[in-house]
Amino acid sequence: MTRARNREMLALIPVALLLTAGFAAVFAQENSKLGNLSLTYGAYFFALCLATHIYLRIRLPHADPYLFPLMAVLTAFGLVMIYRIDESLARDQANWFVFGLVLFALTIQFLRDYEVLERYRYIIATAGILLLLAPRIPGIGEQVNGAYLGVKVGPISFQPSEFAKIAIVVFLASYLRENREVLIVGARRILGITLPPIKHFGPMLVVWGASMLLLVFIRDLGTSLMFFAAFLALLYVATGRFSFVVIGMLLFLLGAWFIVATVPHVHERVEIWLHPYTEPRGSGYQILQSIFAQADGGLFGKGFGQGLITVPGTHNTLLPAAQTDTIYSLIVNELGLFGACGLIATYLLITARGFKVALLANDGFSKLLATGLTAVFAIQAFVIIGGVTRVIPLTGVTLPFVSYGGSSIVANFVLLALLLLVSDRARREATEPAGRELALGATA
């Protein structure tokens, strides 16, 4: 598998050049002259990625060679855009990037036999649920724009949902691997619809109830949609029954309709989505400015540093939360539709590679784990991009590896480590039979 690792190393070179060129463009715009600082940043970034590559070459020689470089592209993109917004935020993001790589290496080191996670699935599920509810704990919970998303303990602030998504996926993958047979064999057709057995229908109702609980307690439609969509993806892969997915979607839509009608904050978010022009200088200001910024970018964008985040000469915000919620809008404004398509294509490539890992996996838990991790990553990207383009209501989730936020980048590096662990085992098992057949042929 040396060739695969060589492809990974070669792919990191254009990523470092992309980051260098991005910083050079920002510096040229801000200082009207170029220095060697962009080369220094590019060299540091490449050195970190190269060190990670060497570690992967030693520990996971059979792992997918494209996932890490693709994640590096998103990280480089995010660092440049955040630096363009605020240098101090970019410095923090770079520190979180280094910490994420350390946790990435530790995850690979201590979870080489990741199937051990199956033994502790209920403990992991409990931890995931507690993390989701943590923002509502008095004294440490933080409310942002009406939603309870953050936890602050002393100087440390983070979003628990970023880590909870991994815990929930691990639990669902383990549970469905163990119970997939009874869900299939015990299913019955009623009025042309295949229904799972009632006694095993409970988990779907529990996850549905948990999703609705999220809407009520943390008041975030995007997070609940992300979790429930990942669950439906796992359910379909485990059973192959599309009717189960349809039932799940109907349950979610019914519950969402009820919550929207009864919970004021969720109702307000939906109203802003549907009628942003009702209060263009009030509640609808953020989504309207997001749309205007994208329209102003055109096909090729206005160029790095040319987009207006604040009113010139004042501190009045033109594009609210540019480093988090609306960073995609800023990217479209400065790089145009072509730049945005490149970003979306990167997410699609990661999704395709993740699902390929799931297809190669031989055991049920590995297959479902890779599917769930990939699905939750892709859905998170869709939720935030869909929010700023008014496809769905705007929520507080981050754009993976691009938006500012330590919780997001660290949790997604753990997610990447788990995907590479599954990939290494799957690709190694796929090549071992071929190697044995060649050895037997040579002996004969």
pTM: 0.91
Is it the case that residue 138 has pLDDT exceeding 50? Answer: yes
Residues 6+ apart with CB under 8 A from 188: 194, 195, 197
Per-residue pLDDT at 216: 66
Is it the case that residue 428 has pLDDT exceeding 50? Answer: yes
The mean per-residue pLDDT over the stretch 48-68 comes to: 95
Pick the most confident of 118-122, 250-254, 411-415: 411-415
Per-residue pLDDT at 232: 86
Packed helices 202-217 and 221-239: angle between N→C axes, nearest 10 degrees: 170
Is it the case that residue 441 has pLDDT exceeding 80? Answer: no
Is it the case that residue 28 has pLDDT exceeding 70? Answer: yes
Residues 6+ apart with CB under 8 A from 374: 350, 351, 354, 355, 357, 358, 419
Per-residue pLDDT at 438: 45
3-state secondary structure the chain: CHHHHHHHHHHHHHHHHHHHHHHHHHHHHHHCCCCCHHHHHHHHHHHHHHHHHHHHHHHCCCCCCCHHHHHHHHHHHHHHHHHHHCHHHHHHHHHHHHHHHHHHHHHHHHCCCHHHHHHHHHHHHHHHHHHHHHHHCCCCEEEECCEEEEEEECCEEECHHHHHHHHHHHHHHHHHHHHHHHHHHCCEEECCEEECCHHHCHHHHHHHHHHHHHHHHCCCHHHHHHHHHHHHHHHHHHHCCHHHHHHHHHHHHHHHHHHHHHCHHHHHHHHHHHCHHHCCCCCCHHHHHHHHHHHHHCCCCCCCCCCCCECCCCCCECCCCCCCCCHHHHHHHHHHHHHHHHHHHHHHHHHHHHHHHHHHCCCHHHHHHHHHHHHHHHHHHHHHHHHHCCCCCCCCCCCCCCCCCHHHHHHHHHHHHHHHHHHHHHHHHHHHHHHHHHHHHHHC
Is it the case that residue 435 has pLDDT exceeding 60? Answer: no
- List the structure tokens of 125: 């599920």
Per-residue pLDDT at 33: 59
Q: Break the chain into its structural domains and give their ranges.
A: 115-274
Per-residue pLDDT at 444: 47
Is it the case that residue 17 has pLDDT exceeding 50? Answer: yes
Per-residue pLDDT at 442: 46
pLDDT tens, residue by residue, 285-331: 999 999 999 999 999 888 877 888 887 777 778 888 888 889 999 99
Pick the most confident of 211-225, 234-248, 387-401, 410-424: 410-424
Packed helices 406-443 and 67-85: angle between N→C axes, nearest 10 degrees: 160
Is it the case that residue 436 has pLDDT exceeding 70? Answer: no
Is it the case that residue 98 has pLDDT exceeding 90? Answer: yes
Is it the case that residue 64 has pLDDT exceeding 90? Answer: yes
Residue 344's beta-bridge partner residues? none
Query: Who wins on pLDDT, 163 or 29?
Result: 163
Per-residue pLDDT at 440: 43
User: Among 253, 246, 249, 239, which Cα is nearest to 193's?
Assistant: 246
Mean pLDDT of the chain: 84
Percent of the chain with pLDDT over 70: 85
The mean per-residue pLDDT over the stretch 174-186 comes to: 73
Per-residue pLDDT at 201: 59
294-to-88, 104, 228, 316, 338 alpha-carbon distances in Å: 25, 34, 29, 19, 12
Per-residue pLDDT at 312: 75
